[in-house]
Copies of this chain bind each other. A is one copy, B any other.
Amino acid sequence: MNEIDRRPLLRAMFDAAIAAAQPARCLPPHLPAPPKGRTIVIGAGKASAEMARVFEDHWAGPLAGLVVTQYGHERPCRRIEIVQAAHPVPDEAGLLATRRIRQLVCGLSEDDLVIALISGGGSSLLVAPAEGLTLADKRAINAALLVSGASISEMNCVRRHLSSIKGGRLGAACHPARLVTLLISDVPADGPIDIASGPTVPDPTTCSDALAIIDRYGIGPSPAARTLLTSGAGESVKPGDSRLRGADLRIISAPQRSLEAAAEIARGAGLVTHILGDSLEGESRELGKSLAGIVRQVAARGQPFAAPCVLLSGGETTVTLKGSGRGGRNVEFLLSLGIALRGLGGVHALAGDTDGVDGAEAIAGAVLAPDTLARAWSLGIDPCVSLDRNDGHGFFQALGDSVVTGPTLTNVNDFRAIVIDAAPRKAP
């Protein structure tokens, strides 16, 4: 078969997914009416500095505020102060910024307006240990959670109950001011409580839920943390709390919308697209195997979809580190997909993190082509060894197939697109 090169199309789809989630595009329609009193802008997350920049560009009235973002994600703001702090393990800078944010919303009146600009990553940037806990306590638990195998949702439940700002506490502190939270979602089902641990969102989970998670994954919390949970002193702000009544939550951008933007590009190229899910989870390499099974079925039998077609998915997978390579969720997925496809012709794929950083370096992801494995072998690179070493970036970079976007100023989680051109062969 003459292979069509789908790399330019895949890159255009990825770019469209990112563009759809840009604060400059999706925030302006959500600006609230100006208040009689003051306007205070607060926020936390990887996209929150850019959200702040767009907000102040479009806000006519007076304005003050402070937003904390991850190192390297700052944006030039004139009226809103941008502070940078550490992610995913919190640092002193985040602690100080959080304290100042609390002070900003303290003592407001009913005539005032608080705008909270929340995006993924905010959970470790907005950090205020509950009374009796130290930052070291929280960092230790956070680090243990990150390698425990606990889901994002479970990690956040624990974090909310060891915090004096998460789980609606920051929102409650804004009372009696009017509160509008603008959210960029990077979580399953776009649940606001899970985006940055829901600092302005009432929390239906409890201390005993958090305790069950800690015990399930064998996290050893400090004695102070355990006391906080067992005594119930760590309880978050619950649904129905009068301080959050009337608070407005608006999801301005979400994984599904970005997948639909990418689907639009594929449709423009004459390809039928199928969105498998906006929140696929699980171990990256295992998702690669699962989706390879579906791709093989499409290619071999035209089930459950006829080829040519595009399979799209979002969500956040996990990588259980075993090797010492340079990797990330998306390149790990892609390498596993390639291996599981066993050189199947007519299949191209792109996987990337919409924040531009897959893993720990400034590489968003990579592209897989039908000849990827053969080219690797010809360079003396064994794809299975690369995968065992969690060396996805090393693998795709050696082939010149990395996808680099630079900081995208947004974050709607992972993006995966698979183009299947292979014509169905006769079923045996």
Contact = CB atoms under 8 A, between A and B. Distances in A.
A256 B315 CA distance: 30
B428 A216 contact: no
A278 interface: yes
19 contacts: A189-B296, A190-B428, A274-B303, A276-B293, A276-B304, A277-B294, A277-B297, A277-B303, A279-B296, A279-B297, A280-B290, A280-B294, A281-B289, A282-B286, A282-B287, A283-B283, A290-B290, A293-B315, A304-B305
A313 interface: yes
Nearest to A281: B289
Contacts of A315: 293
Nearest to A280: B293
A297 B281 CA distance: 12
A301 interface: yes
Contact of A427 (B256, B279, B293): B256
* Interface size band for A: 35 or more
A276 B294 contact: yes
Contact of A384 (B216, B282, B293, B385): B216
Given A303-B275, A304-B275, A283 B286 contact: yes
A412 B254 CA distance: 41
Given A304-B305, A427-B256, A297 B283 contact: no
A287 B287 CA distance: 7
B289 A282 contact: yes
Given A190-B428, A216-B385, A281 B293 contact: yes
Nearest to A254: B428
Number of copies: 2
A286 to B, nearest CB: 3
Contact of A293 (B286, B301, B313, B340): B313
A309 to B, nearest CB: 10
A297 B282 contact: no
A388 interface: yes
Contacts of A382: 212, 216
A188 interface: yes
Given A286-B282, A286-B283, A388-B216, A277 B296 contact: yes
A124 B334 CA distance: 33
A251 interface: yes
> Ordered nearest first, which 4 A-B pairs have the shortest CB separation?
A286-B286, A282-B289, A280-B293, A274-B304
Contacts of A428: 190, 251, 254
